[in-house]
Chain A
Amino acid sequence: MAELVGYLITGVGVGCAYALLGSGLVVIHRVTRVVNFAQGGFAVLAALTVTTLLTAGLPHGLAESLAVLLATGIGLLTGMVAIGRPGTTPQAALIITLGLGVLAYAVEIFLWGDQPRSFPGLPGSTAVLGARVQTHYLLIIGVTAVILGATALLFARTDRGRALTATADDPYAARIVGIDVARMGLLAFALGGALGGLAGVLVTPVQQVSFDSDVVLVVNGFSAAILGNLTRPGLTLAGGLLLGVVQALVGGYLSTAYQTEVALIFMLGVLILRSSSARVEEVTA
């Protein structure tokens, strides 16, 4: 029983990181219709930046915050390159984000080499229902709850958030009321950068990160987001947590070698279910 509780908590912890990453994808996709394949890169960049800042003597908290800020800026820059030119289609922008992700590999190898890196998180362990879990997992869960809650409030309670939703709902109508749709797209990319960066910073103390970790992260984040059809943040959170828990159980009871495959099979299953239910709706309509 204690073993199962341990796997559940570590799964939820890692799932929170997937949910943060997936939420970034959802924010960007809702507002700009672009699937941002550079999303995993934001996480890797922020994580590697923290290793450098900590080595330079900056304290925990400040190093992580600066790294998330950097990821926010990189998110903004990615948006400027991907959608900055008027008339760029979402398909073209998707390819641009893919290209930027590859460019990020070169920069990261140049700056940090190709070996996996990590840094210490919150030290110690805590007893939960008879299981001892690293306290850092509880930090991941707590921070994710606060940040996703704050993001939900941003969208529901502020005019800037309403303008982002309005742009997602109907860009033409947003333009006619005077909302700068291009600026909202850039804001979405910046938010996506922040959420991706935060995911990387939180997860690295429990999972080493190297320049190519973005693939695993983006596959998992995308799998979480696709449960919510790339538009629904609540389902993205559920998808992230479900993925994290299933992967922890597979890793714990079978083998860690199959964890990424679980995400891919999960994504495939959702897509198959969705397309078959769409066909049923078409037939019954």
Chain B
Amino acid sequence: MIVEVRDLVVHYGAATALDGVSLSVGEGEMVALIGANGAGKTTLVNTVCGVKQASGGRIDVHGNLALVPEGRHLFASLSVDDNLRLGAWRQRKRTTGHVYDLLPGLTKLRNRPAGRLSGGEQQMVALGRALMARPDLLVIDEMSLGLAPKIVADLAAHLRDRNATDGLAVLLIEQNAQLALDLCARAYVLEAGRVVAEGPSGDLAGSPEVAAAYLGLEA
């Protein structure tokens, strides 16, 4: 396993954001985490990535994690190239060539300030910045938010390609459950800080409760 989370508890003051969450992602796996707004998805991501402190439970990480955060969070005044270089801050080698090879659309944008790019271009830079860390597991928080379907399809194709070619594992956090279940082999459903369902994506998509709550289908 690259990441194994056991009985994770996270508080914001007196409020409990995550209440005994367990989750795992193995090598080369694509795993989805779906849930409504406020379910605790981003809190889980931030805790796994070490940005937020856990109150209880255990997180074991065996490998290199990189995060594409919700809202992209690029360094707006820096160029695309500088954004990419900073993605490898923990590495000794910060050459960007391999990311331009993987995402050739970024090459023509390399000297543009990241803050002046379109939403789709920014998401591509955020993905490239995360890939600069040469991760074993890519954690992507709300990849599709605010983007046109064509751009989302392109990003999904990139992820599939990286997964198939390099064995890159992916933990995809999405409100767009259809996209997440289509893209990932396995999924977890988070509600009010608890995992309420988990299993192969096909099984979850076939579950009347999940279909009604997240896929907009009648139970």
Size category of the binding interface on chain B: 10 to 19
Total count of chain A residues near the partner, CB < 8 A? 16
Does residue A162 face the partner (Cβ distance < 8 Å to B)?
yes
Per-position 1/0 for B78-98, Cβ under 8 A of A: 100010011101100010000
Does residue A169 face the partner (Cβ distance < 8 Å to B)?
yes
Check A177/B77 contact, CB under 8 A, given A162-B82, A172-B51: no
Check A176/B67 contact, CB under 8 A, given A166-B75, A169-B78, A170-B76: yes
B contacts with A: majority SS: loop
How long is the Cα–Cα vector from A82 to B16 in the complex, in angstroms?
31
- Find chain A residues with CB under 8 A from B129 CB: 177
Contact B86 A176 (CB under 8 A): no
Does residue A163 face the partner (Cβ distance < 8 Å to B)?
yes
Does residue B195 face the partner (Cβ distance < 8 Å to A)?
no
Contact A177 B89 (CB under 8 A): yes
Contact A162 B85 (CB under 8 A): yes
How long is the Cα–Cα vector from A177 to B49 in the complex, in angstroms?
10
Does residue A159 face the partner (Cβ distance < 8 Å to B)?
yes
Does residue A279 face the partner (Cβ distance < 8 Å to B)?
no
How long is the Cα–Cα vector from A108 to B89 in the complex, in angstroms?
41
Contact B90 A178 (CB under 8 A): yes
Q: How many A-B residue pairs have CB under 8 A?
A: 54
A residues 168-203 near B (Cβ < 8 Å) are 168-170, 172-179
Q: How far is the CB of B51 from chain A (nearest CB, A)?
A: 6
Check A173/B73 contact, CB under 8 A, given A159-B85, A163-B86, A179-B89: yes
Contact B87 A166 (CB under 8 A): no
Contact B77 A173 (CB under 8 A): no
- Find chain A residues with CB under 8 A from B49 CB: 176
Contact B86 A159 (CB under 8 A): yes
How long is the Cα–Cα vector from A174 to B74 in the complex, in angstroms?
9
How long is the Cα–Cα vector from A206 to B76 in the complex, in angstroms?
41
Does residue A165 face the partner (Cβ distance < 8 Å to B)?
yes
Does residue B106 face the partner (Cβ distance < 8 Å to A)?
no
- Find chain B residues with CB under 8 A from A178 CB: 89-90, 133
Binding site for B on A (CB under 8 A): 159, 162-163, 165-166, 168-170, 172-179
* Seed contacts A169-B75, A173-B74; 17 additional CB < 8 Å A-B pairs: A159-B85, A159-B89, A159-B94, A162-B82, A162-B86, A165-B75, A166-B75, A170-B73, A170-B75, A172-B51, A176-B49, A176-B69, A177-B89, A177-B90, A177-B133, A178-B90, A179-B86
Q: Could you give 18 example pairs across A and B, Cβ below 8 Å? A: A162-B82, A162-B86, A163-B89, A165-B75, A165-B82, A166-B75, A166-B86, A169-B77, A169-B78, A173-B69, A173-B73, A173-B75, A174-B86, A175-B51, A176-B51, A177-B87, A177-B129, A178-B133
